[in-house]
Structure 1
Amino acid sequence: MTALTIAPDADVTEARASRTKTTTKARIVGVGTANSEHSYTQQELLDHFAIEDPKVRSVFLNSAIDRRHLALPELDAEGALIEESQGELLAKHKRMALEMGARAVRACLEDSGLELADIDYLCCVTTTGFLTPGLSALLIREMGISPRTSRVDVVGMGCNAGLNALNAVNGWSVANPGKVAVMLCVEACSAAYVIDSTLRTAVVNSLFGDGAAAVALITDTEDTAHGTPDAETESGSPRVLSFASHLITDAIDAMRFDWDDSQGKFSFFLDPQVPYVVGANAEQIIGRLLDGAGLRRSDISHWLVHSGGKKVIDAVRVNLGLTRHDVRHTVDVLRDYGNLSSGSFLFSYERLLQERVTRSGDYGVLMVMGPGSTIEAALVQW
């Protein structure tokens, strides 16, 4: 009897091949940051706002923050604060967002070795003000970026928005190899303050600062990726591997903007339980992110966590079993700038690169949290 040879099904063969084929990934090829002009110590801020309440002062002075960049409301001849209307705050946001945003984009392009003319896609992220047309359109006009540039604006998502946007920008980059995508996070927190004597506003007013951060992404073309395999893991140019997201629906109102009728402006609310809610859910999302790549926490060389506040950082560190060294940049950014909202993690990322300690093959985790309540995470590899 002649033995029968059964040829493998074509679909099965193709599926096996796809599992072993290395998918081209987007690379973060540059980063740049910027802040508003003036910075102040927490004591200087207490003096400027004439805050005497010992409980409020304690919130400021025990925040693990040394300085923050802010554009403060001016004082009148009697030394009292000049009230800023909601319209004036929106105008302040527009002015500061354009100024800080342009500087961050230029710094990012310089770090990347790119020019304004190289930008093919621009994503702008902000929560501290509303603009129509969006910040992306205004920046394109003000900076002289090509009007043919594709763009998107992510507005109102909060501190987690940087990774939500990076996920979308990464997808565009992978779909458009060889083209340059830029993501800008710009938060003029000076334009989102309510000044009163309550502990509710004290928590917010003691924490946030002004800042902008931009990153550039490029996905190598097939020929480039095959021709220079080391380029994808070059130190300072990590590949973006995957993302994970977790919405804590039971705490959806824990971080939010409310309209304050008495003040005639928006007021941000931050629930005191936020650090514990975030900490309790941190393991779940990081476990999912790493399981998808077949990794353990011990495989991660670099942790870049959002500088959300001292208690938030401590809760994440304890629940994930991280060392103080793991979150050194997170802590230092909080100390030097306060909570910069959506761009905070990119300030930490910039400091990591400045250390020049990343090596080819190292894995890193980016982790942010914000309104929703939401935790976002991304896995990268140098």
Structure 2
Amino acid sequence: MSRPAILRSLQTIVPETTLRQDEVRDVFAAQPELGRLAQRIVTASFNGSGIDTRYTVLDELSLTADTVQPQFFDRETGRLLSPSTKVRNEVYVREAWKLYVDAARRSLEADPGIVAADVTHVITVSCTGFYAPGPDYEIVRALGLPENVERYHFGFMGCYASMPALRAAAQFCAANPDAVVLVVSVELCTLHLRSSEDPDMIVATSLFADGAAAGLVTARTFDQIAPGFALDRFHTGIIPEGKKDMAWMIGDAGFEMILSTAVPQLIGDNITAALSPMFHADALGTSFDDGRIGEQVTHWAIHPGGRSILDKVEEHLGLSEQQLHPAREVLRQYGNMSSATVLFVLRSILEQEGARDGERVAAMAFGPGLTAEAALMTVVAQ
């Protein structure tokens, strides 16, 4: 039996500029074009988000920044500006590559056994900007990886994209036992925030943030063990009735997130059916609905798409408050960083939740479609 691929040396970073949720709320609620109803929706969405702080690459969004020619926020007037998609993407090109390279470098430096020359594949993940040659090229050049490294980009898939990226990495390792796959996710969601009276846009504005994560996936045996997760099994589920409720489109003034207030209920109502195939007897020795999943799975790495989504997942899967703690804490401290977020939750489970060798982990993330991507993992700590 072949050795399972291991996700190891998981690292996460955020930009330097901190956004306090209450301060951002007040800025958005004070925009002069908003009617009284929209102002109330802004206040309710921000107050109920479960978020204290978020991070952004846009220094000018800070209330203390002194920007000579503001493009996104004029601090003197308090007005949120509306730059074009071209302007927003130019900022992505300027800022994203630094986070890609930094996250990738940190992952390699954190690994006690893997060096740059060992890397055979690079997978980059993002849905918040585009350019070519892209971040995969930047990583290879900046870190001195072999020029014949295979490079792949998972683009514009949304919040769930790190899960299929890990699945692809595991498949590369199954096909080539010597493969070492570097997976890097960078999302600059704040580039696309804007003032709006649309309730769906307001909800998105109250949630999204910037962040980056990277890890190494390999089935090779190295002299030094790095704590991580064995990638045991993946599953994709679709909730087709939610297609119109979660989407990601390109507009003239940035990318446009459709995130309706119906999403939490849709996920709650359908999550059991969407994920049950992953929990059949071959995987856990029990079925999904026989009441023993909580005993078999110790840790749950749920993508915190929003507080209401976590509430519905907790309710419908019968999870404990402690099992949702890492997801809620990531949401509170960092907001929703799209595809990078579930990697933040996995790192928290490994480093802050007392995960022990051999414990089972269920990870899942939701995105456009509605698509639910999930994985079963096993903690590898020794």
TM-score, scaled relative to structure 2: 0.85
Bigger CA radius of gyration: 1
Unaligned runs of 5+ in 1: 1-21
1:295 corresponding residue in structure 2: 285
1:109 corresponding residue in structure 2: 108
1:88 corresponding residue in structure 2: 87
1:24 corresponding residue in structure 2: 3
Residue 77 of structure 1 and its aligned partner are, at CA, apart by: 4.8
Residue 50 of structure 1 and its aligned partner are, at CA, apart by: 5.6
Give yes or no for contact 1:345–1:368 (8 Å, CA) kept in 2.
Answer: yes
- Counterpart amino acid of residue 275 in structure 2: I
Percent identical = 29
Q: Tell me whether 1:245 sits opposite 2:236 in the alignment.
A: yes
Give yes or no for contact 1:208–1:340 (8 Å, CA) kept in 2.
Answer: yes
Query: Could you tell me how far apart the structure 2 residues matched to 1:152 and 1:373 are?
Result: 24
Give yes or no for contact 1:59–1:206 (8 Å, CA) kept in 2.
Answer: yes
Q: How does 1:118-129 map to 2 (within 5 A)?
A: 118-129=118-129
Secondary structure of the equivalent of 2:228?
coil
Query: Could you tell me how far apart the structure 2 residues matched to 1:23 and 1:214 are?
Result: 25
Residue 356 of structure 1 and its aligned partner are, at CA, apart by: 6.4
Question: For residues 66 and 187 of structure 1, do their structure 2 counterparts lie closer, same or farther at Cα, with a shift above 3 Å needed?
Answer: same
Query: Could you tell me how far apart the structure 2 residues matched to 1:249 and 1:295 are?
Result: 29
Q: Compute the RMSD of aligned alpha carbons.
A: 2.1
2:334 corresponding residue in structure 1: 337
Question: For residues 302 and 122 of structure 1, do their structure 2 counterparts lie closer, same or farther at Cα, with a shift above 3 Å needed?
Answer: same
Give yes or no for contact 1:36–1:96 (8 Å, CA) kept in 2.
Answer: no
Residue 116 of structure 1 and its aligned partner are, at CA, apart by: 3.0
Among 364, 367, 372, the alignment partner of 1:367 is 364
Query: Could you tell me how far apart the structure 2 residues matched to 1:239 and 1:265 are?
Result: 38
Question: For residues 176 and 104 of structure 1, do their structure 2 counterparts lie closer, same or farther at Cα, with a shift above 3 Å needed?
Answer: same
Residue 293 of structure 1 and its aligned partner are, at CA, apart by: 0.9
Among 254, 258, 283, the alignment partner of 1:269 is 258
Query: Could you tell me how far apart the structure 2 residues matched to 1:34 and 1:345 are?
Result: 13
Among 53, 58, 71, the alignment partner of 2:44 is 58
Q: How does 1:250-329 map to 2 (within 5 A)?
A: 250-260=241-251, 264-291=253-280, 292-296=282-286, 297=293, 298-329=295-326
2:177 corresponding residue in structure 1: 177
2:289 corresponding residue in structure 1: none
Q: Deviations over 1:110-166 (max 9, x none)?
A: 222233333221000101112233321233234443322111000011011110111
Unaligned runs of 5+ in 2: 32-38, 62-71, 287-292
**Greater Cα offset, 311-320 or 289-298:** 289-298
Secondary structure of the equivalent of 1:245?
strand
Q: Deviations over 1:258-279 (max 9, x none)?
A: 354xx54331111211111111
Q: Deviations over 1:52-97 (max 9, x none)?
A: 6232122111211000002232416544334322111101122222
Give yes or no for contact 1:307–1:340 (8 Å, CA) kept in 2.
Answer: no
Query: Could you tell me how far apart the structure 1 residues matched to 2:200 and 2:284 are?
Result: 43
Query: Could you tell me how far apart the structure 2 residues matched to 1:348 and 1:257 are?
Result: 23
Secondary structure of the equivalent of 2:316?
helix
Query: Could you tell me how far apart the structure 1 residues matched to 2:30 and 2:168 are?
Result: 42
**Greater Cα offset, 70-79 or 185-194:** 70-79
Residue 321 of structure 1 and its aligned partner are, at CA, apart by: 0.6
1:168 corresponding residue in structure 2: 168
Residue 235 of structure 1 and its aligned partner are, at CA, apart by: 7.9
- Counterpart amino acid of residue 5 in structure 2: A
Give yes or no for contact 1:27–1:239 (8 Å, CA) kept in 2.
Answer: yes
Question: For residues 276 and 364 of structure 1, do their structure 2 counterparts lie closer, same or farther at Cα, with a shift above 3 Å needed?
Answer: same
Query: Could you tell me how far apart the structure 2 residues matched to 1:311 and 1:356 are?
Result: 22
**Greater Cα offset, 235-244 or 84-93:** 235-244
Give yes or no for contact 1:187–1:343 (8 Å, CA) kept in 2.
Answer: yes
Give yes or no for contact 2:83–2:253 (8 Å, CA) kept in 1.
Answer: no
Query: Could you tell me how far apart the structure 1 residues matched to 2:353 and 2:368 are?
Result: 33
Query: Could you tell me how far apart the structure 1 residues matched to 2:325 and 2:240 are?
Result: 30
TM-score, scaled relative to structure 1: 0.85
Residue 241 of structure 1 and its aligned partner are, at CA, apart by: 0.9
Secondary structure of the equivalent of 1:293?
helix
1:147 corresponding residue in structure 2: 147
Secondary structure of the equivalent of 1:238?
strand
